[in-house]
Structures are given as structure tokens and as C-alpha cells.
Amino acid sequence: MSFYIPIGPQHPVHPEPLLMKFKVEGEQVIDVEINVSYTHRGIEKGFEYRDYMKGIFLAERICGICNAAHTLCYTQNIEQLLGKEIPPRAKYLRLIVEELSRIHSHLLWLGLAAHQIGFETLFMYVWRDREKVLDLLETITGNRVVTAYNTIGGVRRDITPEIEQKIRKSLDYLEERTKYFKKVVMEEPTVLVRTQNVGILKPREAIELFAVGPVLRASGIKHDIRADDPYIAHDEVPFNVVTYDTCDVYARILVRVDEILECINMVRYSLDHLPSGEYRIRMPVIVRPPPGESVSRVEAPRGELLHYVRSDGSDKPYRYKVRTPTLANIPSTARMLTSRGDYIVYIADIPIIFGSIDPCLCCTGRVMFIDIEKSKSWVWTYNELVRYSLKRFERHD
Amino acid sequence: MIEALYKIIEMILFPGFAFIGVLSLLYEWIDRKFYARLQNRIGPLYAGPHGILQPLADFIKLLSKEDIIPEGADKFLFTLTPILFFAINLLLTLFLPICGTTGVISFTGDLIFFVALLTIISILVYTAGMASTNRFATIGAERAVLQLIGYEIPFMLSIVSVAISSRSLTIKNIVESQSSIWHILGPNFLAFIIFAITAQAELERIPFDIPEAEQEIVAGWLVEYSGKKLALFRLGKDVETLLLCGLGATLFLGGPLGPVVPGLEIVFYTLYFIIKSIIVLLVLTTLRALFARLRVDQMLVLSWKYLIPLSLISVLIVRVVF
């Protein structure tokens, strides 16, 4: 006998709203439907109502954890439109903050993954050590999570030799702890049985379904925007693209843990080779880029992030488009969550499989209407949306 | 007449219900605090000194919450199960030898009765889940029964090997047979390990908190319970923890026995019982902090592939030695 169980929109492991409707038979999952559109916030429209400087703050709030990647992507776009090159020191400083926030994101995810398989102790340990990197971000940027560091023309603050010393000290601690966590993950038998051969995504499927970021790299495909299309100082700072080829949740954990170690080395290298000079070029408060369009890509902690901007010469963007990594990973998740052949998904595996893409749904919501019978899809305009909501309101009154 | 009065006091005050209630809340606090310290957290802190009153505060808070019975639920079973769950657990504590070598209730072969009622507790979990007719609760209830199939046999066998080595099925005799050497120090050490692991499953704690599994099926069989019913389940769970820790202490650590000052036997016996059962509790809490949660199929594999053969070996060793 099969029946449906809903995971979400409210569920203990997903603080963000999303609905996964599972068709289950006993403990086995047969089919899944994913609905991510519970948090459409109208951000892209929001950009069109703000001037370019204010847009930075909005870009920062697309996603709390990868805010550094979003502002980086945004400011790169605007700088490309303006045709400005930022000073080399700013490039390195941006890289440092980007990599630190990647460490933060991966540690946060590792803790959550441990929580999702019921390993509370590892969860607590990881989140305790995450505080170190948050302290670092606070020292450098003034804020713990939402860093507000990147700005058009460079960064907001410089780092002093004292801060540099502090970073190095904390990095040593973090490196030691990360190696310890890696050891725990690789040796603890209950973690191994819960993660190995769970959530399989074959390399071919990963490419077909446009997986990005650590999910793609855990399927054995060497793809990283930092290496393939270097931005800021990534062409000067050496690093290895981490890949594992077991294609399961275990590989995704190891990819992220190894990436933390890579990030630590990258930050160390950039501190050693930090160029002197200005850390920003002054910009007027209101910038008016010439008409044109620009695309910028950044490797956010969760995968490839893409921003597109079109300017009509005024002080506000004409169109702004954001493609976040979680949205790109949703189709592969649906594949991972469906049993096929001798690959069986159990109810108990749902949280960790879905969690293994490091979902961030607040940046994922999209509104689109699809009529399956007529195979037609369309998008509503602002006025249609207002008319619809007014009608709904009347009906419920 | 006096004897009957004495029996009633024993049952209600000490070492009966009132004492057990206080002790089980204390054990919950120890469990939570120690678990928190293992995870580098602080744990309960504000209610009372070092948060010692936190379990009581939680209990009172739950009592004051709204009590909801879902529309589709079987109202009779839904209401009856928490009461039975609590009552059976409380009844079983009367068998524990706390302030002497016998419990409040003691008869020949009471160990069998004790273990049989322990199984009924697990079946009540199934009833609770099924009565609430929630999808998560149904899955949780199914998992509880599957898990029962896994841990019940090794649990029984570990108790059997103790019974064999003391040549008795009466708790009183098992305690008295340990007056010279505790069972855990002899060939029953393996049985103690199996007992600790299966007690973990009986109590539904990590790595065997599969029927509750907060991250997977929200709260499993408990999901629809709220207010007083949930409070009863919580308190029943605490009593069950005390019960299994006490059983471990009784069967393997010599129960309340130890060197005593003549005339003050009751105080010393109670003290020894509490210390020994807290040791068992700390072992269980440490186990809880060490692992990730298993899947129910993996739990069954673990149980049938390793625990049952091991417990059979344990019984065999004990049979050969004694």
C-alpha cells in the first residue's frame, strides 16, 4: 500500500519553506514532487526600483550565508558596466572574505548534515568551531554573517597587520579542527553506513540535470568557476579543484571538508602575497553606467552563481536576473530522491539527501505558471499579480 | 493493620511513587546535563541550582498546555495509551530493589513478569502511534515494532544469562547472589554490553531513536500528542530510563548491596542503588553522544547479525562457567 507523506512546508530540519510530496511504500520512497515556490520575494523586481548603490544591500540579502558571493557577483557586474578595474589589493581582500565565508558555509553545512543523520555531538562541535570563522569575519568586516564588505570599486575596509596575525592564528585552529572532523566522518561507522551509497547521482545524470558546485564535483566532474573562469584574484592564487567519484552523500561531505582545507590555504597564500596600495576606488554615490548588459559568474559556496544586469543609462538597472545554485540543483535532487532499480531511497534518507545539496530556498523561489495539459507556460506581470491578490482577498473576506 | 499501613507508605512515599518521581526527574536532569557537557554545551541552567529543576519545569509547563485530540484519532486509545504507558512504567519500578534486597513487590519468578511488562511498553508505543492516525505517527509506530523485533531477543538473552549465572528468575535471589562478586566482573560482562545497547533501543535514544527520529518523521509516534498526554509520556519515559538503569544496576552491579553501617542499612542501600544506577545512566548517555542514528533496516541487520549471535555466545559462556 502506498501513501503520500508531506515533508514541509514546515519541518524540523528545513527551516525554510518547501514542500516535498513523497509517495512511499512502507519505508521506501517511490516518487517525489518538489515545490520550492513558497518564498517568492520579488527581489529581481526590487533591483529595478533601487539605484546601483542600494542594490548592493539587496543583493546581500538574497541569501544570508553566501552574501559575500552575491555582493561580489553584483559589484563585478556593475564594475564591468562602468568599465572600471578595481585595485589589486581589493581583489585579494575580496578573495579572503569570499573564502572565509565559504569556510563558514561549509562548516555550517557539515553541522547540519550531522544533525540530519542524527549525529548531534558532531553538529554541536562543528557549530562551536564555526564561531571562530564568524569571529574572523567580524574582525575583518565588522559583521558576523551579513558582511557588507564588497562595494562598487573595491571593499569597505582594509586589514591591518594585527588582524592578519589573528586570521593566521584562527586558521591554524580551524585547519586542525577540520582535519579532526574529516577523521570523524571517515572513521565513524554509523556515519559511513548512513552516507555511503545514499543519494547517488551518476556523472552523466549530473551533467544532464545541470548540477552545480560541490554536488557536481562529488560526482567526479572537475568544474569550478574559480578555476574555469577566474575572477578577482583567483588566477593568481593556486588551489586544487576537489573531486570525489563515489557520487554519494559521503563524497559530498568529503568534497566540502576538503574544500575548507583548500580555502584555508588560499587565505594563507593571499595574506602572504597581499599587494600594497589602495583598497578601493572612490565612486560617486549615484552611478549611471552606460547602456549595455553584463553577466558575472561566481563560485558561491553552494555552486555556480550567475547574475545578469541590463542598464538603460539611468541610475537604476533596467533588468536584473539572478540564478542561484540551489535552483540549479533541484532537478538533480529529485533524481537522487527517486528509487530506481536496485537503488532504493528510504524515508530515513530524505533529510540527508536533500540536505546534501546544501539547500538555500530563500534565494530559490520563482513564479511561473505551467499548464500541463496544454504544455504551455507563462509568467505574470506585476499588475496581474496585484489583480489576482485583490480578487483572492475579496473572496476570503 | 500496621503492616498494611507500612506497605501503603512504602508504595506511595518511599521507595514508591513519590521517591521514584523525584528520582526520575533527577535522572533526566543528569542525562541532559551530562549529554550537554559531552557536546560542549551548558545544558539546563536557569531553573534551580545548575538547572536541576528544569525537567520539573518542563513537566509543569506541558501540563498547562492545550490538550488537542485530532479529529481522525481513536479517542479512547489516544487517551488511554499515555496513562497506561505511565502507569506500567511506574508499576515496574516497584519491583526494583532500592532500599533492600527486595522491591516493594516481590514474588518467585518476578523477573519474567518484569520483562513481559517491558515488552508491553513497546507495544503501547505502537498503539499510541496508530491511535493518532497521523502519517508520521503511523510510520513511527511501524518502526517501533520493527525495532522491537530487533532488540527484544538480545535484551531477553542478556537477562537470561544473568538468570542462569545466579540460578534464579527472582530479582531478590539475583541480587543476593551478587553479595560476593558482581555479575559484571564475571563472564556476564558481554551480557552487560548487550544490555546497554538494547536498553538504548528500548529507550529510543540515539543511535536507535528511529521511531521518534525528529529529523525524518518529525516526532514519530509522539507527533500528535500535546499537553497533559505528552507530559505523561515524557514522565513515563523518565521513569523508564530510571527503570532500565535500575535494572542494569540490579542485574549486573549488585543492586543495592555494598558495605553498610549496621542500623543504617536503608540509607546505605538507597545510596548504593542511586550511585550504581547513575553509573549505568552515564554509560547510556555516553553511548547516545557517540553515534549517528541508524536506519531501521540497518538496525535490524546490526541486531540479527551481531547482537543476537553475541548474546547467544554470552549465554553459552555463562552456561559453561556456571
Closest residue in chain B to residue A121, using alpha carbons only: B39
DSSP summary character for residue A315: S
CB-nearest partner of A121 from B38, B136, B142? B38
- For B246-268, give one letter per residue: b (16+ CB within 10 A) or e: bbbbbbbbbbbbeeeeeeeeeeb
Closest residue in chain B to residue A353, using alpha carbons only: B216
Q: Measure in Å the smallest separation between the Cα of A343 and chain B Cα atoms.
A: 15
Best A1, A120, A196 member to test B by mutation, with max B CBs in 10 Å, is: A120
Could you give the residue range(s) of every CATH 1.10.645.10 domain in chain A? Answer: 40-320
φ and ψ of B88, to 5 deg: -65, -40
Q: Which three cell numbers stand for residue B7?
A: 506497605
Structure confidence at residue A368 as a pLDDT band (50, 70, 90) = low
DSSP B228-239: HHHHHHHHHHHH
Instruction: Find out whether the peptide bond into B207 is cis, omega within 30 degrees of 0.
Output: yes
Label residue A369 exposed, middle or buried (CB < 10 Å: 0-12, 13-18, 19+): exposed
Q: Domain A40-320: give its CATH code.
A: 1.10.645.10
**A88 and A276 in contact (C-beta within 8 Å)?**
no
Structure confidence at residue A317 as a pLDDT band (50, 70, 90) = confident
pTM: 0.87
Per-residue pLDDT, averaged over B9-27, amounts to 84
Closest residue in chain B to residue A116, using alpha carbons only: B215
Structure confidence at residue A207 as a pLDDT band (50, 70, 90) = confident
Share above pLDDT 90 across residues of chain B, in percent, rounded to a whole number: 16
Q: Which residue has the higher pLDDT, A386 or A93?
A: A93
Structure confidence at residue A362 as a pLDDT band (50, 70, 90) = low
Per-residue pLDDT, averaged over A56-85, amounts to 87
Flag if B136 and A193 touch (Cβ within 8 Å). Answer: no
Interface confidence, given as ipTM, is 0.87
Write out pLDDT tens, residues B282-318: 999 998 888 888 888 888 898 899 989 999 998 888 8
Flag if A121 and B41 touch (Cβ within 8 Å). Answer: no
Residues in CB range of A91: below 8 A, 6 or more apart: A232, A233
Closest residue in chain B to residue A26, using alpha carbons only: B139
Best B291, B303, B306 member to test A by mutation, with max A CBs in 10 Å, is: B291
Q: Measure in Å the smallest separation between the Cα of A7 and chain B Cα atoms.
A: 8
DSSP summary character for residue A293: E
Q: Measure in Å the smallest separation between the Cα of A5 and chain B Cα atoms.
A: 7
Q: What is the pLDDT of residue A389?
A: 76
Q: How many CB atoms lie within 10 A of CB A69?
A: 28
User: Which residues on B lie below 8 Å from A184 (Cβ)?
Assistant: none
Q: What is the pLDDT of residue B30?
A: 92
Question: Is A373's pLDDT higher than 80?
Answer: no
Share above pLDDT 70 across residues of chain A, in percent, rounded to a whole number: 96
Per-residue pLDDT, averaged over B18-44, amounts to 90
Closest residue in chain B to residue A192, using alpha carbons only: B292
Q: What is the pLDDT of residue A363?
A: 64
pLDDT averaged over chain A? 86
Q: Which three cell numbers stand for residue B77?
A: 486509545
**Bridge partner residues of A6 (DSSP):** A21
Looking at residue B12, its amino acid is I
Based on its alpha-carbon atoms, the radius of gyration of chain B, rounded to whole angstroms, reads 19
Question: Is A388's pLDDT higher than 70?
Answer: yes
Flag if B139 and A5 touch (Cβ within 8 Å). Answer: yes
Question: Is A46's pLDDT higher than 80?
Answer: yes
Q: By a Cβ cutoff of 8 Å, what residues of chain A touch chain B?
A: 3-6, 11-13, 24, 26-27, 114-122, 124-125, 128, 188, 190-191, 193-194, 346-351
